[in-house]
Structure 1
Amino acid sequence: MDNEKNVKKDGPGMLYLCATPIGNLEDITYRVLRVLSEADLIAAEDTRNSIKLLNHFEIKTPMTSYHEFNKYDKAKVLVDKILGGMDVAVITDAGTPGISDPGEELVKQCRAAGIRVTSLPGPAACITALTMSGRETRRFAFEAFLPADKNERKEVLAELACETRTMIIYEAPHRLTKTLAELQDTLGGDRLITICKELTKRYENSMEFTLESACEYYENNEPRGEYVLVIAGKSREQLKAEARKQWENMSVAEHVQMYMSQGMDKKEAMKAAAKDRGVSKRDIYQELEGKA
C-alpha cells in the first residue's frame, strides 16, 4: 500500500478511512479499491449494504460490522487487532468515514493507542452539495443532522441564528418539512437556501429557495430521497444593523452615562457609544451638546 503495508511487518498495522461512493459507483478511487483489496479486515457500517459494493468490484476481504450501536466496544476490538499487526479499512454506508458516522470514535481510540491513521480522499455529500449550491464556499459550518433531543436542538438552532458562514445540514425526507419550518422560524423566511437531493444518483437535483418558499414548496411536494441543505449565513452588515438597533430605545446621553458608570471617562464613553451606534464620535458630541 504505497509501502504502508511494510509497517505491519515490524509492528502495528494501520487504520485506513476509505471514502466510498454516495451514489455513483464510478466515484470510487483506484487507491480505495486497492486498499480494500489488500487490507486484512474491512470494518463496515452495514455489512449488508457494503457487500454489494465489494461484490461489484470483486473484493474478497473479510468484513466485520462497526456501527453506531457497537462503536465503543467494537473500536476496542479493532484497536487490538491493529496493534497485533492487522491493517483495517473502514467504510461507511456512503461517503467519507468519520463524517457524521461512528468512524470518529475509532479514530480517537486508534490515535490514543499510537496507531497510524490515514484517510483516503473521496466522496463526501457535504462538500459535493456545497460546491454545487451557489452559496459562498470560503467559510462554512457543517452541522450534519440536527440533534434529536429537543433542548439540544433548540440550542443549536439558536447558535445558527447569528452564524455568518454558509451552513450545511443533512436531513431525511420524513423530517424535511419540520426542519425547514424550524429554520424559517429561527433564521427568517427571506434567508437563501439551496436544497440538494440524491447527490450523484440518477435523480440528483438542487433547487434554490428562500426558506419561506422552500416551506411552501415541500408542503405541496412530498420529499423523497436524502437531502443536503446549504443555507446562506447572516451577512455582517445585518449583524451590525441588528446590534445598532438595540440602542434605539436609549438616548445618546443615557448611552454615554452607562459607560461612564462602568468607570470610563467621558471621552472613552463617547467613543464606545459611537461604535455601538455605528456613528462617529463627533455625532455623539454634537448630540450631547444639542447641536445635532
Structure 2
Amino acid sequence: TALALSGLDTKSFIFLGFLPAKSGQRRDILKGLDEQIHTMVFYEAPHRLLKTLADIEELLGGERSIAVARELTKTYEEIKRGQVSEVLQYFKDHEPRGEFTIVLEGRTPVAPRGSMEQIVDEVEELISNGTDKKEAFKKKAREYGIHKSEIYKYYVDKYESQKN
C-alpha cells in the first residue's frame, strides 16, 4: 500500500524489511544503497525513525524523494511525501508514532547535462556561497550521477593549468 501511495516509481523496487537497529550496521547498508536505481522499501520503528532519516539524508542525499507512511488502512493513516530533508524536518516537529514504511527513490542514472567545466563552475559557485568544499563536490557528484573524484580531478587540473 505504501509503495502505491508513495508517488514513486513502482516498476521496479526492492524490499529490505527492517534496517538494523545498530547505527553502524544501518549506515553500512545505506552506504551500499547509494548507487541503487530501484525504489527501496523498508520498515522502521518510531523510536529510530529520526536517526534513520538523518542517516539517509547524510549518506544518500537530502534531495531524494521519499514517502514515509504509518498506520495504513487504519484510522490515523498518514503519509508524508517530499524530499528527505523536508520529511525529516516534519518528523522532528511531529513526534513519530506507530510503525513506519519508508519508500525511497532510487538514484536516477543521469548522464552529465553539461561539460565537466560547467560542473566545476557550479562547484566553485557553491564554495563561494559558503558550502564546505567536500560537500560541494559530493552534492554535484550526486546531482550529475558521477563520482566526486572525477569532478575533483578536473578541478585540480583546471587550477594547475591556470598557474602555468
Query: How many residues are matched?
Result: 125
Change over 3 Å in CA distance of 1:200–1:243 after alignment to 2: same
Number of the residue aligned with 2:33 = 160
Which structure has the greater CA radius of gyration?
A: 1
Change over 3 Å in CA distance of 1:222–1:246 after alignment to 2: same
Structure 1: distance between partners of 2:59 and 2:11: 24
Structure 1: distance between partners of 2:105 and 2:20: 20
Structure 2: distance between partners of 1:240 and 1:214: 20
Gapped regions of structure 1 (runs ≥ 5)? 1-127, 255-292
Structure 2: distance between partners of 1:158 and 1:168: 15
Change over 3 Å in CA distance of 1:244–1:191 after alignment to 2: closer
TM-score with structure 2 length normalisation? 0.68
Gapped regions of structure 2 (runs ≥ 5)? 112-141, 158-164
Q: Offset at 1:151?
A: 3.8
Matches within 5 A, 1:220-231: 220-231=93-104
Change over 3 Å in CA distance of 1:250–1:212 after alignment to 2: closer
Q: Offset at 1:241?
A: 3.1
Number of the residue aligned with 1:213 = 86
Residue type of the alignment partner of 2:92: E
Matches within 5 A, 1:67-216: 128-216=1-89
Structure 1: distance between partners of 2:45 and 2:69: 12
Q: Deviations over 1:149-181 (max 9, x none)?
A: 444323211111111110111011111111111
Q: Offset at 1:245?
A: 5.3
Q: What RMSD in Å do the two structures reach over aligned CA positions?
A: 2.2
Structure 2: distance between partners of 1:212 and 1:153: 18
Whose relative contact order is higher, 1 or 2, with alpha carbons under 8 Å and at least 6 apart? 2
Does 1:241 pair with 2:144? yes
Change over 3 Å in CA distance of 1:139–1:220 after alignment to 2: same
Residue type of the alignment partner of 2:31: A
Q: Offset at 1:144?
A: 1.1
Could you say what secondary structure the match of 1:237 adopts? coil
Q: Offset at 1:184?
A: 0.6
Structure 2: distance between partners of 1:174 and 1:234: 27
TM-score with structure 1 length normalisation? 0.40
Q: Deviations over 1:101-125 (max 9, x none)?
A: xxxxxxxxxxxxxxxxxxxxxxxxx
Q: Offset at 1:207?
A: 1.7
Identity %: 38
